[in-house]
Amino acid sequence: MPFAALGRYTLTFVCGMPWLRVDGDRILTQADEPILLRGVGVGGWLNMENFITGYPSTESLQREAMKQAMGEEAYEAFFRQFTESFFGDADARYLAALGVNCVRLPVNYRLLADQAEPMRVRQSGLALLDRAVATSAAHGLYTILDLHALPGAQNAHWHSDNPTHRAGFWEQRILQDQVIALWDAIAQHFSDNPAVAGYNPVNEPADPDGSVIGPFYGRLASVIRGADPRHILFLDGNRYGTDFSALGDVLPNTVYAAHDYALPGLAAGSTYPGTTRGEWFDRDVVEQTFLSRTEFMRQTGTPVWIGEFGPVYTGDPEQDDMRYALLRDQLEIYREHGASWSLWTYKDLGLQGLVTVAPDSPYVHRIAGVLAKKHRLATDSWGGDDRQIRHLLGPVEQFVADEFPDFNPYPWGAQRWIARIMREIVLGEPLVEEFGRCFAGLSPAEAAGLAECFGFAACDRNDRLAALVSDFLGARAGD
């Protein structure tokens, strides 16, 4: 069933954006000039994530907790201003100054599909996408539209707004049909817009046995092509963008997207070059991992696009020096192999962002106690350090290993499965209520003022990260 369209927007761009298409292993403009899409993901905005904006658990639980604590009026004022402030003209101008030519725009399906009427598209959601595309295009930036959170959740993690430890999307045909109908509406809406580089319909899918994703991608592509035969499809591999074995035949005008996070950039106490969790990592190992993750593209003669990558920074100078060295090696590897890429992520509270919310801002000050508790309890999977709760996790891990020695749940094994349940659910869900209470008693004006802390002018910049990226793009960021 197609979405019932609630209107169509006419967009006017201040600069022309040539159409893009896939030709063999290259992306070309309509003038047949090759282009590498090199940019950033704008995570935490139209799809929120806990480490980016500071809440525990999932976006939906955060919103519920804040609404209960603040009341409807202040809640609406906060998120109206947050949506306005997080990404705008100044942000796009800054990215263009770095030399970036593309933004990947993560979107939560709830922005577009009302739970009460799941087969209708929200006009307000389309308006936000229009604004993001137009803002980016005004500075020469293409947009890749990325559905980052799907109904039922396409993977077991927080970034798909999943409060459970199961990826229910793959278990229910009706949810798959809903997403296909949603993309039909999106494709119709943007079919004449060259500023959209293409569609990234499913972020980091995790179909446990791989039996659903291939046929689903086939149905999805057919519907999108029926509405819009021109835009590129960016299809993530299974198992969080690392496994392409179940995707079926190569589709025309399609880029297959790998995610290439390197373990030394994530694990606490890692060294680079050096040993991380008992494994040796240096530039050669990082390159071999990249080549393994993108082998499908070379075998099929399709373009290489790294949809996500990037270290987590710790604030420890020695640790971060190694992580910047790792990032430099990754960027060199991508350049040597002619890969397009999208760095994760643009703006956050200081973990990965090129732009960061000021640590002395009223917003960070208000949630400081929860941030400290999140760190102590390691409730965030991304950037979390579980060393302070090993006395809880260790015995459970050992007990499960002893009682169920063959237990190896998809996709990352028993230890990660236990961590997901204990850290992000058992500890994260009670803590999200504490986060909500940080905003109790705010007036609408006060709530909006906190959200303004996410505006570009109020934020700090990671100049070291920006200089590294701009050096590789042949640009220097200006004021």
Catalytic positions are: 204, 308
Coil, strand, or helix at residue 314?
A: coil
Q: SS3 breakdown of the chain: % helix, strand, coil, rounded to 5?
A: 45, 15, 40
Cβ density class 303-335: b for 16+ within 10 Å, e for less: bbbbbbbbbbbbeeeebbebbbbbbebbbebbe
299's tokens: 């075998």
- Answer left, alpha or beta for residue 438, where phi above 0 means left and psi between -120 and 50 means alpha: alpha
130 touches 190 (CB < 8 A): no
250's tokens: 């190569």
Q: Which amino acid is at 135?
A: T
> What gap in Å lies between CA 406 and CA 400, rounded to an integer?
10
323's tokens: 């992580």
93's tokens: 């101008």
CB atoms within 10 A of CB 392: 16
Which positions ≥6 away from 239 have C-beta within 8 Å?
A: 205, 206, 411
Burial class (CB in 10 A: 0-12, 13-18, 19+), 441: exposed
Q: Where are the alpha helices (DSSP H) in 99-232?
A: 123-137, 173-190, 213-227
435 touches 370 (CB < 8 A): yes
Closest C-alpha among 51, 66, 46 to residue 313: 51
> What gap in Å lies between CA 324 and CA 265, rounded to an integer?
9
- Phi, psi values for residue 41, rounded to 5°: -90, 135
Coil, strand, or helix at residue 157?
A: coil
Q: What's the N-to-C CA distance of the chain in angstroms?
A: 49
- Within 13 Å of residue 101, how many CA atoms lie on the same side as its CB? 14
175 touches 151 (CB < 8 A): yes
Strand 26-29, strand 20-23: pairing: antiparallel
86 touches 452 (CB < 8 A): no
